Amino acid sequence: MKTGIIIGATSGIGLEVSRQLVQKGWKLGIAGRRVELLEKIQAELGKNNIEIGFIDIAAENSEDQLKKLIQRTEENFGKIDLIFNVSGIGSQNKDLKLDIELNTVKTNALGFTRMMDTAFQYFTEKGSGHIAAVSSIAGTKGLGAAPAYSATKRFQNTYLQCLAQLATIRNLDIKFTDIRPGFVDTDLLKTGTYPLLMKPTDVAKSIVKAIESKKRKLVIDWKYAIITFFWRLIPDCIWERLKISN
Ligand SMILES: NC(=O)c1ccc[n+]([C@@H]2O[C@H](COP(=O)([O-])OP(=O)(O)OC[C@H]3O[C@@H](n4cnc5c(N)ncnc54)[C@H](OP(=O)(O)O)[C@@H]3O)[C@@H](O)[C@H]2O)c1
């Protein structure tokens, strides 16, 4: 039996991963801001499998909120093996509305840092553990249609790399998984049409496999792996002249 914490489990990718991990015998502490949804998921997946906790990663006390959920989950299900941050927001913002940009930074950069640092300190104290996060392919290159989203996703990629190297420097047995999906049919993409849209259930299946094998990085799916491979080869002076809008 394995035990994990999933932050951002109330909908979309996090919800599907929670369902599939419970099917595989995992016990989970799940979190998000919509407590009514957390209660519904707990009823669906069983109180003997799920602990719930309110976490707003953008709040200044989200570190304490995560610690409380970790403590309750440990009391019910034992040692925590995995802390997985799926939570995040994102939208296109070609008009560069400042509130959208700042809120995205507050959640995907500041909130993300709080969750990752709390997880790192926790596993440092425990002696070992696994930290995973859903970032995005949007961090591969700067995307003009969604500046804060794209930049904060690159921030997440780099932050995880920093923590992985820090674990090496400090001789810590902490593993890291950076999940980078392309477009997934969830509430995050409620407006607009998107190419190569993937189903959350399929994406969750790949994520569960990556988590169980503690894979360091995963682009989902193979088509996006090819696309981002070629994106990386494009020189910046050409990239900035491309009209990529979604
Ligand atoms: N959909 C895509 O195409 C796509 C592609 C690549 C990467 N991603 C990434 O995948 C992750 C999950 O997104 P999704 O597509 O599954 O969309 P979603 O259905 O909107 O899920 C977002 C999740 O994040 C949680 N969340 C948002 N802000 C939060 C906050 N301040 N504190 C705590 N939880 C918060 C939400 O819970 P509450 O609202 O209950 O707080 C929800 O559970 C995001 O990080 C997103 O950037 C998505």
Q: Which of 186, 187, 193, 228 to mutate to test the pocket of ligand 1 (most atoms within 8 A of CB)?
A: 186
pLDDT of res. 28: 98
Separation of 79 CA from ligand 1 center, angstroms? Answer: 26
Separation of 180 CA from ligand 1 center, angstroms? Answer: 13
Three-state SS across 26-82?
CEEEEEECCHHHHHHHHHHHCCCCEEEEECCCCCCCHHHHHHHHHHHHHHHHCCCCE
Give the position, in ligand 1's atom list, of the atom nearest the Cα of 56: 32
Q: Which of 10, 57, 154 to mutate to test the pocket of ligand 1 (most atoms within 8 A of CB)?
A: 10
Global pTM?
0.97
Residue whose entry in the numeric block shows the structure tokens 């799920």? 50
| Residue 85 CA to its chain's centroid (Å) | 4
Give the DSSP per-residue string, 156-208: HHHHHHHHHHHHHHTT-EEEEEEEEE--B-SGGG-SS--TT-B-HHHHHHHHH
How confident is the prediction along the chain (246 residues), in pLDDT tens digits per residue?
899 999 999 999 999 999 999 999 999 999 999 999 999 999 999 999 999 999 999 999 999 999 999 999 999 999 999 999 999 999 999 999 999 999 999 999 999 999 999 999 999 999 999 999 999 999 999 999 999 999 999 999 999 999 999 999 999 999 999 999 999 999 999 877 888 999 999 999 999 999 999 999 999 999 999 999 999 999 999 999 999 876
Separation of 54 CA from ligand 1 center, angstroms? Answer: 15
3-state secondary structure of 131: strand
Give the position, in ligand 1's atom list, of the atom nearest the Cα of 33: 41
Q: Residue with the nearest Cα to atom 17 of ligand 1?
A: 188
Q: Residue with the nearest Cα to atom 24 of ligand 1?
A: 87
| Residue 221: cis peptide before it, omega within 30 degrees of 0 | yes
What is the Cα–Cα distance from 110 to 182, expressed in whole angstroms? 23
Angle among Cα 149, 155, 160 to the nearest 5 degrees reads 130
Give the position, in ligand 1's atom list, of the atom nearest the Cα of 37: 40
**Homologous superfamily, domain 3-239:** NAD(P)-binding Rossmann-like Domain (3.40.50.720)
Report residues whose beta carbon is within 6 angstroms of any ligand 1 atom.
Answer: 8-14, 32-34, 55-58, 86-90, 107, 111, 134, 136, 181, 183-184, 186-189
* Domain ranges, ordered by start, for the chain: 3-239
pLDDT of res. 103: 98
pLDDT of res. 246: 66
Separation of 189 CA from ligand 1 center, angstroms? Answer: 10
In which region does residue 159 sit, left (phi positive, over 0), alpha (psi from -120 to 50) or beta (all else)? alpha
In which region does residue 181 sit, left (phi positive, over 0), alpha (psi from -120 to 50) or beta (all else)? beta
User: Which amino acid, one-letter code, is at 215?
Assistant: K
pLDDT of res. 203: 98
Give the position, in ligand 1's atom list, of the atom nearest the Cα of 197: 3
